[in-house]
Chain A
Amino acid sequence: MKLFAPIAALCLLAAASSAQAADPNLGRNLAATCANCHGTNGNAVKGAGIDALSGMPKDKTLQKLADFKSGDKPASIMHQIAKGYTDEQLDLIATYFAAQK
């Protein structure tokens, strides 16, 4: 068993450094909560009138979300949705969408 102590320690470290990062697929899971409107992996249905998020640079997505949160960017619904997620969660979501084709 001794052999595996370092692995466990490593895991503990990862878990302790950020509770949010405990699941390696957290970004994927969080981004999937947006897919009902913005499409699977951010690939919105073309012509359906809601913006795609796939491939959007991370900074751009985060800026828009921050502007929704603050009210700087007028919205029908995104101000209400953005306020439901922490900044760390929005960071993970924006990272995930930026990596999608």
Chain B
Amino acid sequence: MLMKRRDFLKVGAAASAMASLYGCAGGGKASGHVVVVGGGYGGATVAKYLRMWSEGGVQVTLIERNPSFISCPISNLVIGGQKTMEDITVSYDGLKSKWGVRVIQDEVAAVNAEKKTISLKSGSSLSYDRLVLSPGVDFMWDEIPALKSADAQGKILHAWKAGPQTVALRKQLEDLKDGGTYAISIPKAPYRCPPGPYERACLVANYFKQSKPKSKVVILDANEDVMSKKGLFTKAWSDLYKGIIEYRNNSEVKDVEVASNTAILEFDKFKADVLNIIPPHRAGDIAHKSGIKLINNRWVDVNWLSMESTSTPGIHILGDAIFPAPTMPKSGHMANQHGKLAAAAILNQLAGHEPNPNPVVMNTCYSFVDSKNVIHVSSVHQYDAATKTVQPVKGAGGVSAARNELEGKVALGWAKNIWADMLA
């Protein structure tokens, strides 16, 4: 008996549903439109990998407010004087011309999960089959009330998003007279890039040692102890920067006096010539306000098989904005890995299959302790069905044996390769 076309379609759908039920792919090919918000470490990666792995079958639109990508990794070397902004800036042209990603420079103002649309600041709106948010972090200015105004933020910098603030902080350090004090404050964990503030302290101290030897670096850490690579950082401080770097733990900044560059701590005050405050942060605004489930009202709760919101299927969240799995840092390397996990899951889902049940992600963070010597921390995380999250593999990962110049070269090679992996 010949099947009517309608019946054929019905049966086809049943077969594909069955195939997906049993985790057996084959047949269905992914198609549809994916909108990605944010062209940073997570967003650029997912955009490229969706196009590459679907061989152009899936349409991808990337919305990014900045005209080009500026990397936070390596930006501490701009602040330290070894690199320029040009060295850490990459164009979106590769995503457009090589991979056929539609890149729109605009800001996403709102998400409508029910209608599956987003609206742009410029006024237009777009519809999607699946949405990916990789907006990074935004700062909780309420926690440092005097820093709420734009004027105050222009004077007391964070430089925790690479861009104009990176240049401005470098300028403040260049203008500092010898014998001055630079203080950097670190918020309570979790925050973006656990070793980043300690790396910055090293590179500023390295600059002072060479150009302003009477100047000092003070680290005001809200945490009980050094949060990453403790032994290697403290050794660098005592070997290389004795008398320059002073580390103070349990020193949470509660507010500032803008006019006098003073940090207000719980029981104490600290006046610096250059005050660099990293305020506590949370998931980027667009993720924070789109009604998806948050943990501690700060970070997005995700399903580790697909990076999908646990409350709102069809919306995938990557990078710094998510509530991390156990021991997982907020890093660019990890955001890139989230992007690939999500790309694989989305392509399965668009083809009517279940996501890969055994995802793996891994991390590495390289930190410069001077212009040439680097230390790393690494970890590998495998999905564990019992806890429904990715767990660090025991016995794998670790830190450098000692700071070394070889890894100084690898760290710069890492940057070139990850930028190409996202954008070229």
A4 to B10, CA, bound (A): 13
A36 to B411, CA, bound (A): 11
Q: In whole Å, how far is B418's beta carbon from the nearest beta carbon of chain A?
A: 5
Mark each residue of chain A from 61 to 82: 1 if its CB lies under 8 Å from any CB of chain B, else 0. 0000000000000001100110
A89 to B383, CA, bound (A): 13
Let me know if B340 and A33 touch, CB within 8 A.
yes
Q: In whole Å, how far is A84's beta carbon from the nearest beta carbon of chain B?
A: 2
Q: In whole Å, how far is A85's beta carbon from the nearest beta carbon of chain B?
A: 7
A33 to B396, CA, bound (A): 15
B22 contacts across to A, CB distance below 8 A: 8, 11-12, 15
Let me know if B18 and A23 touch, CB within 8 A.
no
A90 to B396, CA, bound (A): 14
A56 at the interface (CB under 8 A from B): no
B152 at the interface (CB under 8 A from A): no
Let me know if A50 and B417 touch, CB within 8 A.
yes
Which residues of chain B from 370 to 393 have any CB-CB distance to chain A below 8 Å in the complex? Answer: 376, 378-382, 393
Mark each residue of chain B from 309 to 350: 1 if its CB lies under 8 Å from any CB of chain A, else 0. 000000000000000000000000100110011001000100
Let me know if A25 and B356 touch, CB within 8 A.
yes
Let me know if A11 and B19 touch, CB within 8 A.
yes
Let me know if B364 and A77 touch, CB within 8 A.
yes
B154 at the interface (CB under 8 A from A): no
Let me know if B416 and A1 touch, CB within 8 A.
no
CB-nearest residue of chain A to B374: A76
Known A81-B396, A85-B380; judge A39-B337 contact (CB<8 A): no
B126 contacts across to A, CB distance below 8 A: none
Known A19-B358, A23-B25; judge A81-B378 contact (CB<8 A): yes
A4 to B22, CA, bound (A): 13
Let me know if A24 and B25 touch, CB within 8 A.
yes
Mark each residue of chain B from 14 to 32: 1 if its CB lies under 8 Å from any CB of chain A, else 0. 1100110111111000000
Let me know if A33 and B360 touch, CB within 8 A.
yes
A52 to B246, CA, bound (A): 42
A11 contacts across to B, CB distance below 8 A: 18-19, 22-24
Let me know if A14 and B24 touch, CB within 8 A.
yes
Number of interface residues of A (CB under 8 A): 41
Let me know if B358 and A49 touch, CB within 8 A.
no
A10 to B27, CA, bound (A): 14
Mark each residue of chain A from 5 to 29: 1 if its CB lies under 8 Å from any CB of chain B, else 0. 0011011101100011011111011
CB-nearest residue of chain A to B381: A84
A44 to B420, CA, bound (A): 9
A51 to B336, CA, bound (A): 20
Q: Name the residue among A11, A15, A29, A36 with the largest chain B CB count within 10 angstroms.
A: A36
B49 at the interface (CB under 8 A from A): yes
Q: Name the residue among A11, A19, A20, A44 with the largest chain B CB count within 10 angstroms.
A: A11
B362 contacts across to A, CB distance below 8 A: 33, 81, 84
Known A11-B22, A49-B413; judge A30-B336 contact (CB<8 A): no
Let me know if A7 and B410 touch, CB within 8 A.
no
A60 at the interface (CB under 8 A from B): no
B53 contacts across to A, CB distance below 8 A: 25, 28
Let me know if B14 and A1 touch, CB within 8 A.
yes
A24 contacts across to B, CB distance below 8 A: 25-26
CB-nearest residue of chain B to A23: B356
B397 at the interface (CB under 8 A from A): yes
A23 contacts across to B, CB distance below 8 A: 23, 25, 344, 348, 356-358
A22 to B20, CA, bound (A): 11
CB-nearest residue of chain A to B41: A36
Let me know if A8 and B413 touch, CB within 8 A.
no
Let me know if A35 and B380 touch, CB within 8 A.
no
Let me know if B15 and A4 touch, CB within 8 A.
yes
A99 at the interface (CB under 8 A from B): no
B404 at the interface (CB under 8 A from A): yes
Let me know if A50 and B26 touch, CB within 8 A.
no
Let me know if A36 and B364 touch, CB within 8 A.
yes
B164 at the interface (CB under 8 A from A): no
Q: List 6 A-B pairs, minimum CB-CB distance, nearest first.
A: A84-B380, A11-B24, A84-B396, A11-B22, A23-B356, A48-B413
**Which residues from chain A sit less than 8 Å from chain B, CB to CB?**
1, 3-4, 7-8, 10-12, 14-15, 19-20, 22-26, 28-30, 32-33, 35-40, 44-45, 48-50, 76-77, 80-81, 83-85, 89
Q: Can you pick out 28 interface pairs between chain A and chain B where the beta carbons lie within 8 Å of each other? A: A7-B19, A8-B19, A8-B22, A11-B19, A11-B22, A15-B22, A20-B358, A22-B357, A25-B344, A28-B53, A29-B340, A32-B340, A35-B421, A36-B336, A37-B410, A38-B417, A45-B417, A49-B410, A50-B413, A50-B414, A50-B417, A80-B378, A80-B397, A80-B398, A81-B364, A81-B397, A84-B397, A89-B360
Question: 15 additional contacts, CB 8 Å, given A23-B348, A81-B364, A83-B397?
Answer: A7-B18, A7-B19, A8-B19, A23-B356, A28-B53, A32-B49, A33-B340, A35-B340, A37-B364, A40-B420, A45-B417, A48-B417, A50-B413, A80-B398, A84-B360
